[in-house]
């Protein structure tokens, strides 16, 4: 073995043993029963809320460093959402956790049946970089509310946010039950060799497959919050000014690095032609004449991601934008027109501030294009026609379907958030998080006297036989 190889394997075994001991501590804490009482769950949620409120400025600075995200955008799209998820959970948690009586059929009477929610155990959260607070702490709300211990792996691609979250979580949350492992592939790989009771992964589908394979070895249930191309259809005859403003907001927030950002726009030639100048106006209204100097416009996470995006832009199709600056990780809000379904920009999830406009002949072709591709995480339809709404609800499949507004569905805590098909499996938020991170245990109680339960006796009469 060379020196390099031997030092690498020593480093790997160090990571493995640290990770192993973290998971063992989390499991020990869970097994002690410490995380089960309602009071513990409530205290953790309140501590998480306090962590966010008391350290808002410091966390906002980390996001500014990682993503050029403004404090306003951080509040609107990350912190505010986690705080309202906590408030919504605290308001309803007792009810969600209460055992639910269910009726017992005649043949099992006189029994009593209940569904009791029990925590799963130790949950691993693997988070991405694009909303590094929301997607690390959002799932944690449900994990803690359901009474689990947690191991949290923030994304190394947003290093400033990862560092601040790790430090604050250790200070504010129960350090015996909630553990943070910072790092990248070696740390995640080591974590994935451990046995968890649930793995919650948010990120791309390539790593999603790695997570699923690793989980299979321990038969661990997995939630995959993945991405993909989220289409937007603009119907003829809608208010295009409002539509353009909303599409621009949904697309260029976080410089397009949003899993549910409108990826591309479908519309008839007539509608796209009318929409184009309104998109340009909405971009100017949002970010001024020079988006580079706007505090409200973010940056691309790494130079590598920026290079990938620049390669997707065909200069002959640029309607507005296209300018980039590698050293500043800047890419202007960009709109492309006359894009065909075979263009490279239509091949993969864009995940950046590039908006292709693709012509279709109308609703039928739009539905054909959408259903001919992977099931999206979100589908947006701008229309004022009840018939078009019905068609999209009935004839398309997506994680979410939203009419006339992008992104906003994830701010509705009563709605599940998750993908379908290639955009993911499993859903969370609000009560769906409790469902996800707990087991619905069937509890049946049968008195020994009177010994009258039909199901445990051979049926003697025709009446009894019909009851079985």
Kind of pairing, strands 198-202 and 222-225? parallel
Q: DSSP letter string over 282-323?
A: HHHHHH-S-GGG-TT----S-HHHHHHHHHH--GGGEEE---
Four-residue CA torsion sign, 102, 106, 107, 111: positive
Q: Residue 246 or residue 429: which is nearer to ligand NAD going by CB?
A: 429
Kind of pairing, strands 149-153 and 178-180? parallel
Q: DSSP letter string over 383-415?
A: ---HHHHHHHHHH---SEEEES-SSGGGG-TTS
> Which of residues 62, 164, 166, 377 is near ligand NAD by CB under 6 A?
377
Regarding 302 and contact with ligand NAD (CB under 6 A), the answer is: no
Regarding 43 and contact with ligand NAD (CB under 6 A), the answer is: no
Select the span of 93-101, 203-211, 215-223, 366-374 touching ligand NAD (CB under 6 A): 203-211
By residue count, the chain amounts to 468
- b/e sequence 122-153, b meaning 16+ C-beta within 10 Å: bbbbbbbbbbbbbbbbbbbbbbbbbbbbbbbb
Closest separation in Å from C-beta 128 to ligand NAD:
3
Regarding 275 and contact with ligand NAD (CB under 6 A), the answer is: no
Question: Does the active-site annotation cover 225?
Answer: yes
Mention every residue, 6+ apart, whose C-beta is less than 8 A from residue 187.
15, 19, 153, 181
Closest separation in Å from C-beta 257 to ligand NAD:
8
Q: Residue 147 or residue 203: which is nearer to ligand NAD going by CB?
A: 203
Angle at 241 between CA 236 and CA 245, to 5 degrees: 115
Taking Cα atoms as reference points, which of 190, 219, 184 lies closest to residue 23?
A: 190
Closest separation in Å from C-beta 203 to ligand NAD:
3
Q: Residue 131 or residue 238: which is nearer to ligand NAD going by CB?
A: 131
Q: Which string of x and - marks every residue 53-82 that binds ligand NAD (by CB under 6 A)?
A: ------------------------------
Helix (H) or strand (E) holding 9, with range, is helix 3-31
Q: Residue 227 or residue 267: which is nearer to ligand NAD going by CB?
A: 227
Q: Residue 86 or residue 259: which is nearer to ligand NAD going by CB?
A: 259
Q: Residue 119 or residue 376: which is nearer to ligand NAD going by CB?
A: 376
Task: Report which residue's Cβ sits closest to ligand NAD.
Answer: 227
Identified catalytic residue from 85, 194, 225, 431? 225
Regarding 155 and contact with ligand NAD (CB under 6 A), the answer is: yes
CA 207 to chain centroid: 15
Q: Between residue 334 and residue 353, which ones bind ligand NAD under the rule CB under 6 A?
A: 349, 351
Closest separation in Å from C-beta 352 to ligand NAD:
11
> Which of residues 74, 96, 129, 297 is near ligand NAD by CB under 6 A?
129
Regarding 279 and contact with ligand NAD (CB under 6 A), the answer is: no
| Residue 178 and residue 150 in contact, taking contact as beta carbons nearer than 8 Å | yes
> Which of residues 29, 35, 188, 383 is near ligand NAD by CB under 6 A?
188
Regarding 207 and contact with ligand NAD (CB under 6 A), the answer is: yes
Identified catalytic residue from 64, 73, 78, 259? 259
Measure the CA–CA gap between 419 and 132, rounded to whole angstroms: 19
Taking Cα atoms as reference points, which of 35, 91, 38, 37 lies closest to residue 430?
A: 91
Closest separation in Å from C-beta 363 to ligand NAD:
26
DSSP designation for 55: T
What are the residues binding ligand NAD (CB under 6 A)? 126-130, 135, 153, 155-157, 184-185, 188-189, 202-204, 207, 210, 225-227, 259, 349, 351, 377, 419, 424
Catalytic annotation, residues? 225, 259
């Amino acid at each position: 073995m060379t020196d390099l190889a031997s030092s690498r394997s020593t480093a790997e075994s160090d990571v493995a043993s640290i990770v192993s001991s973290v998971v063992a501590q989390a499991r020990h804490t869970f097994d002690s029963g410490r995380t089960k009482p309602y009071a513990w769950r409530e205290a953790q949620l309140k501590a998480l809320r306090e962590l966010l409120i008391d350290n808002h400025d410091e966390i906002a600075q980390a996001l500014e460093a990682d993503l050029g995200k403004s404090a306003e955008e951080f509040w609107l799209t990350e912190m505010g959402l986690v705080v309202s998820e906590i408030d919504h959970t605290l308001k309803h948690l007792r009810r969600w956790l209460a055992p639910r009586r269910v009726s017992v059929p005649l043949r099992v009477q006189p029994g009593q049946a209940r569904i009791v929610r029990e925590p799963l155990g130790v949950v691993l959260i693997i988070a991405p970089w694009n909303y590094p607070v929301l997607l690390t702490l959002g799932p944690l709300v449900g994990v803690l509310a359901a009474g689990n211990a947690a191991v949290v792996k923030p994304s190394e691609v947003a290093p400033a946010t990862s560092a601040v979250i790790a430090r604050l979580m250790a200070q504010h949350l129960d350090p015996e039950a909630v553990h943070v492992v910072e790092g990248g592939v070696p740390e995640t790989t080591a974590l994935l060799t451990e046995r968890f009771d649930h793995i919650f992964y948010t990120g791309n589908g390539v790593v999603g497959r790695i997570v699923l394979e690793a989980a299979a070895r321990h038969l661990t249930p997995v939630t995959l919050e993945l991405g993909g191309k989220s289409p937007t259809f603009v119907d003829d005859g809608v208010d295009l000014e409002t539509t353009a403003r909303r599409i621009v907001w949904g697309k260029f927030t976080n410089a397009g690095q949003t899993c549910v950002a409108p990826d591309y726009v479908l519309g008839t030639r007539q509608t796209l032609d009318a929409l184009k100048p309104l998109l340009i106006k909405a971009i100017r209204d949002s970010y001024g004449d020079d988006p580079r100097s706007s505090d409200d416009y973010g940056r691309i996470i790494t130079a590598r991601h920026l290079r990938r995006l620049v390669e997707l832009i065909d200069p002959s199709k640029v309607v507005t934008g296209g300018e980039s600056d590698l050293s500043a990780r800047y890419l202007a809000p960009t709109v492309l027109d006359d894009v065909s379904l075979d263009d490279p920009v239509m091949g993969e999830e864009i995940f950046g501030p590039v908006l292709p406009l693709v012509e279709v002949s109308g609703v039928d072709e739009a539905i054909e294009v959408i259903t001919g591709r992977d099931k999206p995480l979100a589908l947006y339809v701008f229309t004022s026609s009840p018939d078009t709404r019905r068609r999209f609800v009935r004839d398309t499949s997506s994680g979410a379907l939203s009419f006339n507004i992008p992104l906003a569905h994830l701010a509705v805590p009563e709605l599940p958030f998750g993908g379908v098909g290639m955009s993911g499996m499993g859903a969370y938020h609000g009560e769906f998080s409790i469902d996800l991170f707990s087991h619905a245990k069937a509890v049946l109680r049968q008195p020994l006297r009177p010994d009258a339960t039909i199901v445990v006796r051979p049926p003697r009469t025709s009446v009894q036989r019909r009851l079985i």
